[in-house]
A and B are shown apart, each in its own frame.
Chain A
Amino acid sequence: MKYDVKKMMMNGLVFPAVGIGAVIGIWAILSQSAAPDLPSPLRIWQESKLYVLEPFTYRGELDQGIGLFTWLSLKMVLKGYALALLIGTPTGFILGSSKLFTKMFDPIFQILRPVSPLAWYPLGLVLFSQARNNTSELAALFTIAMCAMWPTVINTAVGVRAIPQDYLNVARVLKLSPTKRLFKILVPAALPYMFTGYRLSLGLSWLVIVAIEMLSGRPGVGGFLWQEYSSLIYPHIILCIITIGVVGFVLDRLMSVVEANVNHILNLPALIQRGLAAIFARRQLEVSHAVS
């Protein structure tokens, strides 16, 4: 296959660059005319330079390079997200496999699902008020989990319900044990749906952490944004918005790649097993040679 390099350059670089250029242009014009309070692109750059060009410099808890802030937020997101998956996946499996469970809990889930992170966070603070120094962290993790697990729960449930009867019949004829049935049939069959849920949950986690940081003043991209608003340094608000967008976009892309390669992920254990078996077989051969 021959790649059309010119076309790829146009689509991947030139057109987006033109679009970004246009937006910056309109912005510059707006900041000079209709919206005088909007910092101009040039001012944003001048004021943000320090944070972007030295992204990992630590000058104080709420005065760090943007890379450090992003890292702080990401760490929280990953913990909260892991919690969301840990709770959401089994819940989704039960929801998908039990009609009774669905009848009992689906209404509750439907009511809890649209609750805003801003509403969960205070409850989290109350719940974890006993923990002396990390109440706010636990409350934040709780909030991320409560908000971000729903796509995982629902997609997993849909995936489990969509498993063709044929596969379940195979499990029945082979008399697979419940555990084997789960890991040999249900999980692999539902995996593509689960990963769609995982991707959406990650996006939500990122959305939630920014809100929580703004509410709590925890150091991170959101906390920085709120602090700079309070200190009237408006260009940094834009810097934060752009950072949040870029990070969210990158996370989504990463998960899309994972999602598209679910089948290969499933193959990994088999590949490893095969590799180990080959090594093992060779060793045995060597041993038997040594003996004879």
Chain B
Amino acid sequence: MPFLELQNVSKGYGSEISRTDVLHDINLTVERGEFVAIVGYSGAGKTTLISMIAGLLKPDHGTVKLNGAVITEPGPDRALVFQNYSLLPWLSVFENILLAVEQVFPQWPRPKHLAHTEQYMAMVNLSPARNKKPSELSGGMRQRVSVARGLAMDPQVLLMDEPLGALDALTRATLQDEIENIWERDKKTVVLITNDVDEGILLADRIIPLSAGPGATLGPAVTVDLARPRDRKAINHEPRFKEIRNEIITYLLGPGKRSGLPTSVGMKAQKPPVPNLKPVDLDARKFSLFRGGRKNVEAAV
């Protein structure tokens, strides 16, 4: 039995007449402990897809199952790192994480709550900002709080919706390394939504393209059979890396670029979507602001 399973899932918005499927016939299985990345165009329905796994949205057709049970509502066993952070603005960094910790581990004594929160806040290097409100943080710092909150919940499945989207390349790289480390340690089941193919390849066991909407559907999955731990610098020169990258991009720019629905009158007028893929110089990224990061830089200099 697969751990997480989506069967023939379709989902649309709007009332009966104007309704078009945003997502059409999605099939996905994720094994326990697997790290799956989904890449796709902006507006294709990635947030919609992950919201259904989280239980925030119900599919119109098909089922989403976790451990064989149909998902009907959200729950802390599926922590979601929201695309727009969704931090509570009246709570400090510490309190935002603490609220989740208290909620997920009600049986713990208070000192343990505090220590656990402390640990995850330190993990994303936000201890100095512990008493700051989200409005006093930079976009990247907010995103780190959001990631820390998700991780601190110690969920069965960690769902991340473009968790590093708003970050600069340097911080992004640092957090990618961090996510990789954490995953290596607990081998949690992870579904990562990203618009960065390289990020998907670096982190995931399997990378799946989502075609353009409306009627977006998942393209052929590509298994990332690169040895772990993956070094972002070394990986760049591996032929297999380039192959995977090519495969995904070829799909997204080829068959995946077209809407999954038969073209109707309304849709002809739409502009072709622009792929939301960023070519980045991978060599420029090995710079960790976390543990020992400065040393790396100095060594490089």
Contacts and interface: CB of A to CB of B under 8 A. Distances in A.
A174 B55 CA distance: 12
Contacts of B104: 174
Contacts of B78: 173
B76 A169 contact: no
Contacts of B99: 174, 184
Interface string B84-116: 101010101001000110011000000000000
B76 A174 contact: yes
A188 interface: yes
A233 interface: no
A273 to B, nearest CB: 10
Interface residues of B, dominant DSSP = loop
B75 interface: yes
Contact of B82 (A166, A176, A189, A263): A166
A27 to B, nearest CB: 49
Given A172-B56, A172-B73, A263 B90 contact: yes
B100 A169 contact: no
B103 A174 contact: yes
A173 B90 CA distance: 18
A266 B90 contact: yes
Given A166-B82, A184-B99, A270-B95, A173 B88 contact: no
Given A188-B90, A266-B90, A270-B95, A173 B84 contact: no
A189 B91 CA distance: 11
Nearest to B75: A175
Nearest to A180: B103
Contacts of A166: 82, 84, 86
B103 A175 contact: yes
A167 interface: yes
Q: Chain A interface: which size bin?
A: 10 to 19
A160 to B, nearest CB: 15
A166 B96 CA distance: 14
Contacts of B82: 166, 169-170
A176 B100 CA distance: 9
Contacts, number: 47
Interface in A190-244: 191
Contacts of A191: 90
B73 A174 contact: no
A270 B132 CA distance: 13
A50 B39 CA distance: 82
Interface centre among A166, A191, A263 (most CB of B within 10 A): A166
A176 B86 CA distance: 15
Contacts of A184: 88, 99
B288 to A, nearest CB: 30
B216 interface: no
Given A185-B88, A188-B90, A173 B95 contact: no
Given A175-B75, A270-B95, A170 B56 contact: no
Interface string A160-183: 000000110110111110001000
B148 interface: no
B232 to A, nearest CB: 31
Given A166-B84, A169-B56, A270-B95, A175 B90 contact: no
29 contacts: A166-B82, A166-B84, A166-B86, A167-B86, A169-B80, A170-B82, A172-B55, A172-B56, A172-B73, A172-B74, A173-B54, A173-B74, A173-B75, A173-B76, A173-B78, A173-B80, A174-B76, A174-B100, A174-B104, A175-B75, A175-B76, A175-B103, A176-B103, A184-B99, A189-B90, A191-B90, A263-B90, A266-B90, A270-B92
User: A-B pairs with the 5 shortest C-beta distances?
Assistant: A166-B86, A188-B90, A172-B74, A174-B103, A173-B74
